Amino acid sequence: MAEDSFYHALKVDEKTCYGCTHCMNVCPTGAIRIRNGIASIRPDWCVDCGECMRACPVDAIFVEHDDFDRIFNYKCRVALVPAVLIGQFPAKVTEAEIFSVMRELGFTHVFQTEHTAGIIRKAMVETAREAEEKPSISSFCPAIVRLVQIKFPSLLDQVLNIKPPIDASAVYFRKRLEDEGIPSEDIGIFYVTPCAAKIAAVKSPVGEEQSPLDGVIDMRFIYNKIYRLIKSRHNSSSVSPGEMLPLLSPGSIKYSLTEGEASRMEGRCLAIDGIHNVIEFLEKLENDELGNVDFLELRACDQSCAGGVLVGGNRFLTTERLNKRAKRFEGVADIPGDIKAYTHFMNHNMDIGILEPRSMMALDEDMGEAMRKMQQVRHLMCFLPGIDCGACGAPNCQSLAEDIVRRESQLSACVFIQRMMEKHSKLSGEHALKIIEKVWGKNRLDKNCNKKGAEDEAGG
Amino acid sequence: MKFKYEIEGGNFSKAGNASSAVKKMLKQLNVPPPIIKRLVVALYEGEVNVVAHAWNGCIQVDIEPHRIFVIIEDEGPGIPDIDQAMQEGYSTASQAVREMGFGAGMGLPNMKKNADELNITSEVGKGTKVEITTLLNE
């Protein structure tokens, strides 16, 4: 399958990973296998949701983000900051302080991602009204868009062809800066991301040929920098000069939270967060079980972006702070005044391009061949124990059977099958251990008192 | 290739499970998404009919490269007048079933719309057999 060009933000640190299967067991698309004692992620199955990163007990799964110093390749250095960054700080830290620190870090401009949320909402309402097939599905969460591509391709037409705030804002601010006379090549727009999926979306956009962003910065990095600077300031009791940004409407501030979109669309709208919940729900949608739903807001993370895998603060507190902030801004217009002059430009730059199905479910492209393979899988399942222990390096027996048929594993990878083979003298104990080493790495079964929970564990 | 899935009468919380299992299999066989969509909608309607009206039943799926043939068969009260049952809005579902969002009388017509061929036979007091054919070479 020609899926090699697909970029993923999630990587496995082969030195730290010890092949514990936690990530393999939580992956919502079953994309992880253990090979040679470490986790490996199948690129064409991964949607960059970050569940594996959350589950890893030793932080062996990390995101590849841009080196911060890359911003200095540009004369005009723009930080695109989502509301959830602000939500992470305690209430006594003002937004003005946060933004002024961003400038001190080296950014020449700091803009808010949700600046374009109002115009996006308007476009979504209009497009959803015209949609032939209901419900319309939001394109907000990049992990969900990818999930639909690989697991629910028949629903792709229902995904609204409208840019999410990061892309729309990047396009908008670039245009505005260009209109101020700054050459396009001098402008570098960097998104401060709360999740891995948005890194992948920038490096390898699903619809458009090229992302309107120039780079992505891990939110934890910025969060730590800002926190440290603010702390030292508070200690020296110097007063921050502060910096005012355009005010956002309550709807825009809450846009990336759960119900942020659904609460403001027309008709019967539902908001689902958590990727496992989304999968369960899309199964029902595919069966046509839902009746008349007009709009679905689907987010991969619990509490939406406040629960992003790169958000350092507690997701419930982040949500609380943003809700409080939104209250203070009641009455602020949904579409900021400066965008109005660009309405025509934005209307022509809102679509995300064509979303192609990338089904990973099929056992083979050719249906006849797929049928043959499925027959083999069913035959293999007659022998596998159905214990789903993961000792073969696959998340469950069914996955192992499918891997075998895809020639990516073998029946003897199952430790219970090994026992049966040994009993019938078809496998020597020596050989059985060799097979286990292939999955779990050399010397994995040797006594080692330094491992997690063992006698000499080196501080947890 | 043949598959069989059981349906439990009266258990609405599980209605849809058999259809989902068939759907998963069709995706693995690389059946084009629009064909899966139509068939699964018809199947789900059929499954709900069994859950709502019958005591128990099963879905049998037979796949060949050029067509999918499905039999939804149940042991149940049967349909006295099939032509009447095929009319949009006609329903014998109880108030309780309707309150759960089922039984609007669109089941059979919706199945017909989503099948290339639909054949229903029924015996009152014994059960109903619905046969759906979906063509793959279009």
The pLDDT value recorded for residue A2 is: 37
A311: confidence class by pLDDT, cuts 50, 70, 90: very high
The pLDDT value recorded for residue A236 is: 54
Instruction: Output A237 or B138, whichever has higher pLDDT.
Output: B138
**Count of the separate structural domains present in chain A:** 3
- Confirm whether A210 is domain-assigned: yes
A333 and A225 inside one domain: yes
3-state helix, strand, coil in chain B (%, to 5): 40, 30, 35
Looking at the partner chain, which of B41, B44, B63 has a beta carbon nearest the beta carbon of A371?
Answer: B63
Helix-then-strand count for chain A, H and E:
18, 11
Could you report the per-residue pLDDT of A73-88, keeping only the tens digit for each? 999 999 999 999 999 9
A253 and A117 inside one domain: yes
The pLDDT value recorded for residue A78 is: 96
A48 and A128 inside one domain: no
pLDDT over threshold 50, residue A4? no
- Confirm whether A212 is domain-assigned: yes
A15 and A118 inside one domain: no
Tell me what the mean pLDDT of segment B19-29 comes to. Answer: 92
Q: What is the CATH number of the domain that holds B85?
A: 3.30.565.10
Q: What is the CATH number of the domain that holds A34?
A: 3.30.70.20
A211 and A96 inside one domain: yes
User: Strand, coil or helix: what is B69?
Assistant: strand
- Confirm whether A459 is domain-assigned: yes
Tell me what the mean pLDDT of segment A193-212 comes to. Answer: 85
A183 and A329 inside one domain: yes
User: Strand, coil or helix: what is A209?
Assistant: coil
- Rounded Cα gap, residues A232 and A230, in angstroms: 5
Contact A278, A298 (CB under 8 A): yes
Using an 8 Å CB-CB cutoff, list chain B residues near A291: 101
The pLDDT value recorded for residue A460 is: 47
The pLDDT value recorded for residue A47 is: 94
Which range among A123-127, A324-328, B97-101 shows the weakest confidence by mean pLDDT?
Answer: B97-101
Interface of B with A in 26-55 (CB under 8 A): 27-31, 33-34, 36-37, 40-41, 43-44
- Confirm whether A356 is domain-assigned: no
- Rounded Cα gap, residues B127 and B77, in angstroms: 6
Looking at the partner chain, which of A283, A362, A375 has a beta carbon nearest the beta carbon of B30?
Answer: A362
pLDDT over threshold 60, residue A397? yes
Is A451 exposed, middle or buried, given 0-12, 13-18 or 19+ CB atoms closer than 10 A? middle
The alpha carbon of B47 is separated from its chain's Cα centroid by a whole number of angstroms, namely 5
The pLDDT value recorded for residue B103 is: 72
Whether B21 and chain A come into contact, CB under 8 Å, resolves to no
- Rounded Cα gap, residues A198 and A200, in angstroms: 5
A196 and A126 inside one domain: yes
Report residue A3 as tokens: 């899926």
Domain boundary among A347, A378, A402: A347
Could you report the per-residue pLDDT of B98-121, keeping only the tens digit for each? 777 777 766 788 888 889 999 999
Instruction: Output A293 or B107, whichever has higher pLDDT.
Output: A293
A54 and A16 inside one domain: yes
**Domain of B93?**
2-135
Which residues, in sequence order, are CB contacts of A459 under 8 Å at separation 6+?
A: none
- Confirm whether A411 is domain-assigned: yes
- Rounded Cα gap, residues A144 and A426, in angstroms: 46
- Find the helix packing angle between A196-203 and A142-151, rounded to 10°: 70
A240 and A98 inside one domain: yes
B128/chain A closest Cα distance in angstroms: 22
- Rounded Cα gap, residues A166 and A163, in angstroms: 8
Tell me what the mean pLDDT of segment A393-412 comes to. Answer: 95
| Cβ distance of A287 and B44 shorter than 8 Å | yes
**Count of the separate structural domains present in chain B:** 1
Task: Name the pairing type of β-strands B117-123 and B56-64.
Answer: unpaired
Using an 8 Å CB-CB cutoff, list chain A residues near B16: 283-284, 287, 289
Mean per-residue pLDDT of chain A: 90
pLDDT over threshold 70, residue A242? no
The pLDDT value recorded for residue A459 is: 59
**Domain of A2?**
1-64
pLDDT over threshold 50, residue A271? yes
A414 and A336 inside one domain: no
- Confirm whether A8 is domain-assigned: yes
Report residue A63 as tokens: 């995101």
A255: confidence class by pLDDT, cuts 50, 70, 90: very high
| Cβ distance of B65 and A154 shorter than 8 Å | no
Indicate the residue type of A40. S
pLDDT over threshold 90, residue B86? no
Domain boundary among A288, A323, A347: A347
Tell me what the mean pLDDT of segment B25-50 comes to. Answer: 91
User: Strand, coil or helix: what is A348?
Assistant: coil
- Rounded Cα gap, residues A195 and A144, in angstroms: 12
Could you report the per-residue pLDDT of A219-231, keeping only the tens digit for each? 999 999 888 887 7
A236 and A367 inside one domain: no
A209: confidence class by pLDDT, cuts 50, 70, 90: confident
Highest mean pLDDT among A16-30, A195-209, B84-98: A16-30
A240 and A375 inside one domain: no
